[in-house]
Structure 1
Amino acid sequence: MTTTVRENSDRITLYITEQVDAGHEEEFKAWARGILEAAAAHPGSAGTGLLPPSGEGEPWRLLLHFEDAAAFRSWHESPVRAACLAKGRADGYHRMVGRQELLGVDGWFAATAGPAPAGEAPKGPPGRWKMWIVSTLAIAPITSVVNLFLVPHLSALPVLARTVLMAPVICFLMVYVAIPLVTKGLRRWIFPD
């Protein structure tokens, strides 16, 4: 399988859907944990995730995040990845039914897309205009909270120092609090049936 990611692209999320034969879920989870642990240990990994199916007979989803195109390509061409895939395909009880390479912010929304109906392609991220609205709804309360509670305590510091201190707080709140809450609350609008 070839990769088409731009050389200078931002963070890349590899979004894979796997159909697992009934009765083989535990074996699949063991295989998935193995490949995800190998990917997480690979240089340039930005984390991994395994999302169970939302209903009986629906596919499992694997998320592999990479810092940039070089890290993604390095993983894609690695012998560790090849060995993990060869073992998984030899087992014969699961098969890949979808694969997408999501650039930048698109990967934030991959985990919320949910499975596609039988016979349809897996859902990808929503339109960029919807991501813009969701991101704005997530960022607005965070910036208000930071301005009210953090900025007054940092006002004596130079702008660069304040930025370095506030950026991790804002990013943490975005990734772990705001985006999950907003996407959960607006899921039906973001991903209409």
Structure 2
Amino acid sequence: MTEPAPVPDDEPVSVLFTWAVTPGREADFERWLEEVNAASARFPGHQGVTWLRPQDAPKGAEPRYHCVLRFRNGRDLSRWLTSPEREVVVRHLAGIAVEAEPRETTTGMETWFSLPGRPVLPPPRWKMAIVSFLGVYPCVLVFQLLGAEHLSELPLPMVLRAAILPLVLAPILTYLVMPWLSRALRGFLYDRR
């Protein structure tokens, strides 16, 4: 198995794994998914996992499962990847599946609009701008309706008050809104007609 490229210790990180499953062992692999998901979720910094299951693989071909694993930072990811717990869980895959491709690692906002290692061109910038607007505008609106009035009453310099909105919205957009929107609007983002 290939180790992911080094990532900064203090940035959120996503890693793409690809597993080639022995034909006929898909049910065993699905049970293993539950085991590995539970094990990784117990580790500090774990921020979720998304599994992309294969669409009808040709008869006799190894079905390929893709996993996008997210951790708070590279340090937390490294603890999971080098842990005895993960080593035990991965050993349970003997004869069921193998890690098929080198792991791909991304950090920061590049994960909003791309899946690492996939031969897909990024969406046009104008589409990313529209989807970003659709994510940012409702968040800003809710913040304005619920918090702007109280914000002006805080005994802080204007520069610090102005920093509150981006401090609140950046994590909400990065971890909740934009991943959801980019999945929900993938047909729009990646339509090349």
Q: Place the TM-score, normalised by the shorter chain, in its bin.
A: 0.7 to 0.9
Q: 1:16 to 1:109 in 2, by over 3 A?
A: farther
Assess if the C-alpha contact under 8 Å between 1:39 and 1:64 holds in 2: no
Q: Look up the match of 1:73.
A: 78
Q: Look up the match of 1:95.
A: 98
CA deviation vs aligned residue, 1:70-110 (integer Å, no higher than 9, x gap): 0111111100111111221x2x1312112212222344445
Q: Look up the match of 2:46.
A: 45
Assess if the C-alpha contact under 8 Å between 2:4 and 2:15 holds in 1: no
Q: Look up the match of 1:118.
A: none
Aligned partner letter, 2:105: E
Aligned equivalents of 2:32, 2:38: Cα separation in 1: 10
Assess if the C-alpha contact under 8 Å between 1:106 and 1:125 holds in 2: no
Give the Å deviation of 1:146. 4.2
5+ residue gaps, structure 2, are 152-160
Residues 1-193 of structure 1: pairs in structure 2 closer than 5 A: 1-8=2-9, 10-56=11-57, 57=61, 58-88=63-93, 90=94, 92-98=95-101, 99-109=103-113, 123=118, 126-127=121-122, 130=123, 133-148=126-141, 150-158=143-151, 159=161, 170=173, 172-176=176-180, 178-189=181-192
Question: Percent of pairs identical after alignment?
Answer: 17
The answer to which structure, 1 or 2, has the higher relative contact order (CA under 8 A, 6+ apart) is: 2
RMSD of aligned C-alpha atoms? 3.0
Aligned equivalents of 1:31, 1:16: Cα separation in 2: 14
Larger of the two Rg values belongs to structure = 2
Aligned equivalents of 1:4, 1:146: Cα separation in 2: 34
* Equivalenced residues, count: 176
Q: 1:165 to 1:11 in 2, by over 3 A?
A: closer
Aligned equivalents of 1:54, 1:150: Cα separation in 2: 40
Aligned equivalents of 1:20, 1:84: Cα separation in 2: 16
| TM-score normalised by length of structure 1 | 0.73
Assess if the C-alpha contact under 8 Å between 1:137 and 1:182 holds in 2: no
Give the Å deviation of 1:163. 5.6
